[in-house]
C-alpha cells in the first residue's frame, strides 16, 4: 500500500513539475519571432537626450520611439539596460527582441545583426574645456580623445585619425568626467548629446565636426520576423509626422 501511494505521489509531482516548467517558459521565455505580446528592447541609458534616467525614470527620444513602435504593434514593452558594448551580443544570443540606443547602422554591424530603416541621421561633435578648444577635425590627430566603446565615433576616429590616442569606455558620463579632470583633451560624441552635456557643465563647450554616413536604426537579431513590421511602423510614424514631433520634443532645445 505504501509503495503504491509513493508511486502515485511521484507521478503527480512529476506532472506538477512539468506543468510548472511550461508555465514558467510561457511567462519568461524570449519573444521568439515576434509572436510574444511583449517586446524586449536592449538600451544603454547613458546617452541624453536619446536615452537616460531622470529622477529614476527612463526617458529620451529613443525611449519614446520604442514605445510608439510597440503601441503600433499592439505589444507591451520591456527595456533591458546594459552597456553599449553588450548590445550586439545580446541580439546575437536572442536574449532581447530588438535594441534602440542611438545605434548607427554600419556595414560592420550589419554582418552581425539586422537593422530597420533609419530614423535619425547622426552628426559628430567634440566636447572640450573652454580654455582648450578643439573646434576643427584637423586638431584631432595626436590628441587624447575619449569616446564610447563600440560606437561609430570610435570607428570614425580609428579610420580617419589613426594617430589619435583613443580612450574608449562604456559610459559617456565617465568620458565627460575624464575631460573635466584633464585626463583627455576632448570627448568625441553625437552633436545633440554634446549640447546636452554642455548645458549641465558651464566650463565645457562643443563644436560640430563631421556628419556620419550611417543613420540611427533599430537593431534586431538576424532573420527576425519583426523587421518588416518595424519598417512598416517607422514609415507610418514618419508619414504621420510623429517622428518629427519627437525630434522637436527632444532634440530642438
Confidence at residue 126, expressed as pLDDT on a 0 to 100 scale: 98
Q: Which of 222, 229, 212 is nearest to 120 (CA)?
A: 212
Confidence at residue 207, expressed as pLDDT on a 0 to 100 scale: 97
Cα–Cα distance measured from residue 174 to residue 147, given in angstroms and rounded to the nearest whole number? 10
Q: What predicted TM-score, i.e. pTM, was given to this entire model?
A: 0.70
Cα–Cα distance measured from residue 206 to residue 127, given in angstroms and rounded to the nearest whole number? 4
CA distances (Å), 79 to each of 2, 51, 221, in order?
52, 11, 16
Out of 209-218, 225-234, 243-252, the most confident range is 225-234
> Which triple of cell numbers denotes residue 249?
520634443
Q: Residues 123, 190: contact at Cβ < 8 Å?
A: yes
Mind listing the pLDDT tens digit for each residue in 118-151? Answer: 999 889 999 999 999 999 999 999 999 999 998 8
CA distances (Å), 182 to each of 34, 59, 178, 206, 240, in order?
47, 30, 6, 16, 46
Q: Could you say which DSSP state residue 248 is in? A: H
26, pLDDT greater than 80: no
Mind listing the pLDDT tens digit for each residue in 197-206? Answer: 999 999 999 9
Cα–Cα distance measured from residue 84 to residue 62, given in angstroms and rounded to the nearest whole number? 14
| For range 65-74, the mean pLDDT | 98
Phi, psi dihedrals of residue 145, rounded to the nearest 5°: -125, 135
What is the SS3 assignment for 157? helix
Q: Residues 217, 91: contact at Cβ < 8 Å?
A: no
Confidence at residue 35, expressed as pLDDT on a 0 to 100 scale: 61
* Whether the domain at 32-119+217-250 and the domain at 122-213 fall into the same CATH topology: yes
Domain 32-119+217-250 CATH (choose: 3.40.190.10, 3.40.50.2300, 3.40.50.720, 3.30.465.10):
3.40.190.10
Is the domain spanning 122-213 CATH 3.40.190.10? The answer is: yes
Domains of the chain by residue range? 32-119+217-250, 122-213
Amino acid at each position: 500500500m505504501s509503495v503504491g501511494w509513493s508511486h502515485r505521489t511521484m507521478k503527480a509531482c512529476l506532472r506538477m513539475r512539468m506543468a510548472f516548467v511550461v508555465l514558467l517558459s510561457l511567462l519568461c521565455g524570449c519573444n521568439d519571432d515576434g509572436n510574444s505580446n511583449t517586446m524586449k528592447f536592449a538600451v544603454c541609458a547613458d546617452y541624453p537626450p536619446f536615452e537616460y534616467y531622470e529622477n529614476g525614470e527612463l526617458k529620451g527620444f529613443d525611449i519614446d520611439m520604442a514605445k510608439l513602435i510597440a503601441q503600433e504593434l499592439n505589444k507591451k514593452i520591456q527595456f533591458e539596460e546594459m552597456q553599449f558594448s553588450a548590445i550586439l551580443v545580446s541580439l546575437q544570443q536572442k536574449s532581447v527582441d530588438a535594441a534602440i540606443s542611438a545605434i548607427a547602422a554600419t556595414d560592420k554591424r550589419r554582418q552581425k545583426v539586422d537593422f530597420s530603416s533609419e530614423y535619425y541621421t547622426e552628426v559628430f561633435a567634440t566636447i572640450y574645456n573652454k580654455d582648450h578648444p578643439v573646434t576643427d577635425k584637423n586638431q584631432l590627430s595626436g590628441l587624447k580623445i575619449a569616446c564610447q566603446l563600440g560606437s561609430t565615433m570610435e570607428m570614425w576616429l580609428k579610420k580617419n585619425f589613426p594617430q589619435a590616442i583613443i580612450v574608449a569606455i562604456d559610459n559617456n558620463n565617465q568620458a565627460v568626467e575624464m575631460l573635466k579632470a584633464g585626463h583627455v583633451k576632448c570627448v568625441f560624441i553625437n552633436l545633440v548629446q554634446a549640447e546636452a552635456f554642455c548645458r549641465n557643465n558651464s566650463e565645457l563647450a562643443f563644436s560640430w565636426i563631421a556628419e556620419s554616413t550611417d543613420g540611427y536604426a533599430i537593431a534586431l537579431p538576424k532573420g527576425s520576423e519583426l523587421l518588416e513590421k518595424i519598417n512598416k511602423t517607422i514609415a507610418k510614424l514618419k508619414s504621420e509626422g510623429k517622428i518629427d514631433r519627437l525630434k522637436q520634443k527632444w532634440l530642438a532645445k
